[in-house]
Structures are given as structure tokens and as C-alpha cells.
Amino acid sequence: MRVFTSLSLIALIVAPLALFAQAPANTPAAQQVPPMGWNSWNYFAERVDDKEIRAAADQLVSTGMKDAGYVYVNIDDTWEGERDAGGVLHTNAKFPDMKALADYVHSKGLKIGIYSSPGPKTCAGYEGSLGHEEQDAKMYAEWGIDYLKYDLCGFIPDVMEKQAPNDKAAQMKLMVAAYETMNSALKATGRPIIYSFCQYGWDAVWEWAPATGGNLWRTTGDIEPEWNRIYTIISQQEGLESYAGPGHWNDPDMLEVGNGKLTLAENRTHFSLWAMLAAPLLAGNDLPNMKPEIKAILTNRDVIAIDQDQLGKQGSRIYSDGEVDVWTRYLSEGALAIAVVNAGSDRYATHPFHLNLRKLGLASTQAGRDLWTEKTIELTENMPLELSSHDVLLMRVDAPRRPGVLLAPAPKTQTGAAQ
Ligand code: GAL
């Protein structure tokens, strides 16, 4: 027992160090945890302008979201104007002065992000960076940009399908090279800029993104403020756990918390699962008109602490029973997060689900905390849990007890996405 315990302790200490060693070289030190902030697309889409970005920055501060960790204010597509004769890209009329806007966002103690595409056109048909990568990256750095979302979109029809028709492998090579080109351009600026890949998970992006400078990479197509889409995306994250780690994260897309017709339970589950997945937390709602209950979800510090846990280990779905899924996530200092999700109907509100601690590798009694009610909770084998439709029970167990083991076993060593 003593030998096992010491090995576990060593693993607990060494595993996180190994993770830090794999972070892409241009990662700012502070970005060892998943990025947190706000992005304009999910609520404003093409309607975003300078005024909305300033309002979002103001709101992040006044709502306490900044204090809770949300620092990036990210402008998505539709800020781009035309290129001049020298190839310099100008903003369009919605964004009269990008440098002044960046200064404003920085003056609030926040950071600013921008969007482009490796293609000649972006997804919304605006000017992309093809052939102007160095020029654009230099301009972003001069403006003081801290984050770039690089969206494949226009590159698919205009480069991949044109240059390599009917040759998927050659198309994928072109795609990887395009991300590498912008990586070199960003590095050459000398400014630490978070590099976010948006190419919907094509060609197992998690395997090559970190070596190509990616700090985060989308793993799926677009999210929508709708339970079935969110649950599909959650399910698609299974098996990607080993690719995430400090400085490089799977990105199941930006948050829809507070958008569309999501119920409070659905908003809670969406946010809880993004935390379990060590996902970037980029709110995408209408901040000036945020309801108190939505603010309460987005600023729940205990849930954010799960997402931002220094160990950087993404959670896994351990088992499903009927329509209920049980996820766990290893946390630093041997703690464990457990999420029980009712993906089905309200019948579990009256006919409880019974939690199997043994399947989670846990002893039959545990002291935990419910992170949504803030109540302590005694976990017992086969305990009945009443969960309404699409709701979640999210718990933190600080000192998990394993059957016959004093210490929690160390998480498996991180393999890293590039290996
Ligand atoms: C999509 C992307 C969205 C948004 C949009 C803008 O490709 O997945 O998140 O950026 O383009 O046109």
C-alpha cells in the first residue's frame, strides 16, 4: 500500500508538469487554462458593431463577469472592409477605428479578439486573409489584438476543392498548411496571440493542432441554442479527452447560455458540461439584457473552478443508464467532479435514477458538494437522484474515497495531441 501511495503521489505531481511542457510555444503563460470571455457571433451574428463591442466590454466589468474570469472580448465575422492597393485590409463602416476599440477594451483590463479566414472570403462573405497572412497578423499585433479565431470556411471551395478536386488527402494537406502559414505569421509578430482553429473538427484536428500552434480547436460544426444540438455536441466529445491539456483545448464551440429558448435546466447543464469538458468558456449572449438567473449561471465560481482547474484534464462519460449519463473529471489535488445528466424526459423527476458509485471507482459513501445548490451532499451507493428533464447534478468531491485505497489514483498520464 505504501509503495502504491508514493507512486500515486509522484504521478499527481509529475503529470501536471508534463502537461505544461506540451503547451504550444506562443501560449501566453496565463493561458494555461481554457480561455474565458465573450464572442459576438451567437447572439449578434452580422449585426455586431463597434458600439456593441464596447457595450459588451462595459457589461463584462459591471456584471462581475470579468472578476469571475471572462477576459476576452472577441469580434467575430463581419468587421472586414476592403483591401487597398497595398493589400492593407481596412475595417468596414461598422468598425471605424479598430485600434481605438482595442485600446478601449484594454482600458477595462480586458483583452480583445478578432476573426478571419485562410480563404479569400470568410463564412459571411467578407474579406479573408489568403495571400495576406503576414500583413494581417502584423496589423492585428499593431492594433493590440490578443486572440484570433481562424475559420476555414471560404478556403474549402476556393482553394481545397479547386486545387485538389476529388483528392481528400491533398485537400487536408492544403488545410493544415494554411493553419501553419498563419501560425508562422502570428509568431513573427512577437505578440502573444491566442490561436483558435475553427474548422469543425476536420481531419482529426486534435491530432495536429497543437503542433501547428493551436491553443484551441473546434471539434464539431456550429452550435445552436437548442438542446438536441447541444447534447449531440456533448456526445461528440467522447474519446477526445486525451488531446486536451494546459495551453491546448478541445473547443465544443461557444456558449449559448441565455440564448434562444433554452430552459434554465438546459442552460445549467450546458454550462456544467462545458466545465466538465475543460472547454473554452466564451459567453455568446446579449450582455446588456442578461437576466439575473443567466448571470448566476455564467458566474457560478464553483463551476468555473472546475473548468479552469490547473490539472487541465478533460472529463469523460463513465456510463449511461437509460437516458441518464454520468461524467467524471479529475481535478488537481486529487479532487473529482461528477456530473449526472438527465438527457431524457421528466420521468426521472418522479422515478429517481440510482447512482452507481462503484462504476465510478468510488467507495460506497462520499462527502461532496452540489455546485448549483451549494449544499453539502452525502453520496451513497445506489442513492436515488431526482432530476427533471435535461437537468444536471454537478458535484465536487474534494477527497474521493476509493474502495480499499486511501488516496485517489492519479489520472492517466497525458498523451498530448501531437503524439
Ligand atoms: C462559422 C463559424 C461560426 C461563426 C461564423 C461566422 O463558420 O463556425 O462560429 O464564426 O462562421 O461567419
Residues 108-160 have pLDDT tens digits of 999 999 999 999 999 999 999 999 999 999 999 999 999 999 999 999 999 99
Grid cell locating 415? 498523451
Choose the catalytic residue: 203, 222, 286, 370: 222
Q: Is the pLDDT of residue 22 over 50?
A: no
Kindly state the percentage of the chain with pLDDT values over 90.
89
Q: Is the pLDDT of residue 8 over 50?
A: no
Choose the catalytic residue: 77, 151, 253, 309: 151
- Give the pLDDT band (50/70/90) at residue 222: very high
Give the atom of ligand 1 at the shortest distance from the alpha carbon of 149.
10
CA of 151 relative to ligand 1 center, distance in Å: 7
CA of 126 relative to ligand 1 center, distance in Å: 12
Query: Hey, which bits of 219-300 come out as E strands?
Result: 249-251, 281-283
Give the atom of ligand 1 at the shortest distance from the alpha carbon of 151.
7
Residue 409's pLDDT is 53
Q: Are 175 and 193 in contact (CB under 8 A)?
A: no
DSSP state string for 49-116: -HHHHHHHHHHHHHTSHHHHT--EEE--SS-EEEE-TT-PEEE-TT-S-HHHHHHHHHHTT-EEEEEE
Residue 77 Cβ contacting ligand 1 at under 6 Å: yes
Give the atom of ligand 1 at the shortest distance from the alpha carbon of 254.
9
Residue 405's pLDDT is 59
User: Which protein residue's CA is at the shortest distance from atom 1 of ligand 1?
Assistant: 123
Helix runs in 248-392, H state only: 264-276, 292-298, 301-307, 347-350
Residue 256 Cβ contacting ligand 1 at under 6 Å: no
Position 407, amino acid: L
Residue 137's pLDDT is 98
Check residues 5 and 321 and name the one with the higher pLDDT.
321
Calculate mean pLDDT across residues 39-47.
98
Q: Is the pLDDT of residue 50 over 70?
A: yes
User: Which protein residue's CA is at the shortest distance from atom 11 of ligand 1?
Assistant: 123
Residue 404's pLDDT is 74
Residue 124 Cβ contacting ligand 1 at under 6 Å: yes
Measured distance CA(281)–CA(264) in Å, rounded = 18
Q: Catalytic site residue 151?
A: yes
Calculate mean pLDDT across residues 355-362.
97
- State if pTM tops 0.75: yes
Measured distance CA(278)–CA(242) in Å, rounded = 12
Tell me which residue of 53, 27, 59 sits closest to 39, measured CA to CA: 53
Check residues 419 and 277 and name the one with the higher pLDDT.
277
Kindly state the percentage of the chain with pLDDT values over 70.
89
Q: Is the pLDDT of residue 84 over 50?
A: yes
Residue 411's pLDDT is 57
Q: Is the pLDDT of residue 416 over 80?
A: no
Residue 80 Cβ contacting ligand 1 at under 6 Å: no
- CA-CA distances (angstroms) from residue 335 to 12, 15, 151, 415? 11, 15, 36, 21
Measured distance CA(27)–CA(23) in Å, rounded = 7
Residue 123 Cβ contacting ligand 1 at under 6 Å: yes
Measured distance CA(84)–CA(89) in Å, rounded = 7
CA of 411 relative to ligand 1 center, distance in Å: 35
Residue 205 Cβ contacting ligand 1 at under 6 Å: no
Residue 412's pLDDT is 53
Best residue among 38, 40, 41 to mutate for probing ligand 1's pocket (most ligand atoms within 8 Å of CB) is 41
Indicate the helix (H) or strand (E) that contains 390. Answer: none
Tell me which residue of 290, 213, 225, 277 sits closest to 251, measured CA to CA: 277
Check residues 44 and 413 and name the one with the higher pLDDT.
44
Q: Is the pLDDT of residue 72 over 60?
A: yes
Give the atom of ligand 1 at the shortest distance from the alpha carbon of 198.
8
Residue 151 Cβ contacting ligand 1 at under 6 Å: yes
Best residue among 39, 149, 151, 259 to mutate for probing ligand 1's pocket (most ligand atoms within 8 Å of CB) is 151
CA of 123 relative to ligand 1 center, distance in Å: 6
Q: Catalytic site residue 222?
A: yes
